[in-house]
Structure 1
């Protein structure tokens, strides 16, 4: 039996998550349901994309991921089912798949067409559950929808490269539980564009000329205690491989996080300037 994951902005106060799980169990009594999160900021597609990209690969091949964020059906927001990287995603076609499919092309995409048989104001419960359970039973995607060959893309999820000015122009896509801000700039892109050059990371009026690989690397002076380093700002590539601006040992109740202390918020620009070597001057020997 395949795993079925749930990623939504429903929260846990209301009945929605419980109803979705109950509907899955009614269809598949031995289903294995895993909550990725129900705390996505309401309608935040970019945040959803980041969390999904960095969680789905931890699940076995064949896992089905139900995504309930900005899922109301409309002419501009179709419902799709995608087979990608040996996983299945049942989700709205609102661009959230952009980050996941930035480097891996989908094997198959269908536009779900069972809505004619199901009238609903709660599509995650009434449509997505039906589709996910059908896939879990070994059903072919083309039975529940017509095959299409593209999906909606969100440009802001992808950083831009300005070759003339030797820059990567990215943005903040997520703020984590510690108040650290995560950008859409990957370590892979940083290495490919930077080619080992010196650099400056600019985040509002803050700059960083060093990127760490672990948080505690900032506490490198053994004559100081860890407590004396609390509140120090740093840049690092996090475990997901994305550039993060953080506060060492941040605590939102006491020290504060990078978002509040540095005034950084969702969609703010983060720019990496690479420093080009000056041309050498040659002096004539005559």
Structure 2
């Protein structure tokens, strides 16, 4: 089997930047493949939050350079879950990480699985193995060896694609007059991404009514942040093509007190009322 050589590793994790974990993983990669470029997607995923990591990886996936995609959000490290490398589109990408659903959504967006390998060949791990840091001991050296031209099938045992853990993407639904959505993600600015798109509300008026538990609030469709008035909440098509609740210069999440995973019910609001402007025409003297 012809091997690919890769020059880029795109790296996502829940390691944060306080401890040494990210730096150690990068150093292991560079000790084996010293010319590789490592791109940090994010290390700010909430600890152990596989869904958040999966969604972040999916949002980034279409913009990643071809090469290795190393992703580690791994609460099951040292347990029964498999460590895997998954080749996409005959080697355009190889995803390396735990088989816990973290990789699935991004892979589905990028193309076809052409090889799936359980990383059970210790010749491509580092010898100082522990049961708590597979990012350092397995995923980093495997990523580096792939960059150095090792064929993916030498890294372990081939496994069926259908045996890989699927990703979980919540689906919206209709309940009577309500469109039932879920908050997927709160970004750094307090915008709240929902699991619906513009098409889902194209027949709604510009004013919408949202129900969050026993709280009710009117929001307005907008095309840009600066169209949102003070104390108003807007709903906008975001950079991922999904709808987000947002506020201009403020945190929508703080203002309406909602967080990731919460359900939001949306119903049609009243049409926007235009206020007539009276024009008085004075006669010429």
Question: TM-score range, shorter-chain basis?
Answer: 0.7 to 0.9
Residues in 2 aligned to 1:152 and 1:272: alpha-carbon distance in whole angstroms: 32
2:119 aligned with 1:109, yes or no? no
Comparing 110-119 and 11-20, the one that deviates more: 110-119
User: Deviation digits for residues 36-86 of structure 1, max 9, x if unmatched?
Assistant: 11111111112112221122322322x2111111251321x2222122363
Residues in 1 aligned to 2:166 and 2:83: alpha-carbon distance in whole angstroms: 14
Comparing 142-151 and 166-175, the one that deviates more: 166-175
User: Deviation digits for residues 141-194 of structure 1, max 9, x if unmatched?
Assistant: 222132321321243x231344x7476533112111111211232x3xx42x55
Instruction: After TM superposition, list the pairs within 5 Å mapping 1:149-160 onto structure 2.
Output: 149-150=161-162, 151-155=164-168, 157-160=169-172
Root-mean-square deviation (Å): 2.6
Residues in 1 aligned to 2:115 and 2:223: alpha-carbon distance in whole angstroms: 37
8 A Cα contact 1:49 1:100, kept in partner: yes
8 A Cα contact 2:183 2:192, kept in partner: yes
Q: Can you give the 5+ residue segments of structure 2 that lack an aligned partner in the other structure?
A: 1-5, 270-285
User: Deviation digits for residues 90-109 of structure 1, max 9, x if unmatched?
Assistant: 11111122432455443332
Given candidates 67, 75, 82, the residue that maps to 2:86 is 82
Given candidates 90, 97, 100, the residue that maps to 1:91 is 97
Change (3 A) 1:261 1:147: same
8 A Cα contact 2:10 2:70, kept in partner: yes
Residues in 1 aligned to 2:209 and 2:86: alpha-carbon distance in whole angstroms: 36
CA shift, 1:236, in A, is: 0.9
Q: What's the TM-score once normalised by structure 2's chain length? A: 0.77
8 A Cα contact 1:99 1:158, kept in partner: no
Residues in 2 aligned to 1:78 and 1:272: alpha-carbon distance in whole angstroms: 40
8 A Cα contact 1:111 1:148, kept in partner: no
CA shift, 1:7, in A, is: 0.9
Structure of higher CA gyration radius: 2
Residues in 1 aligned to 2:254 and 2:114: alpha-carbon distance in whole angstroms: 41
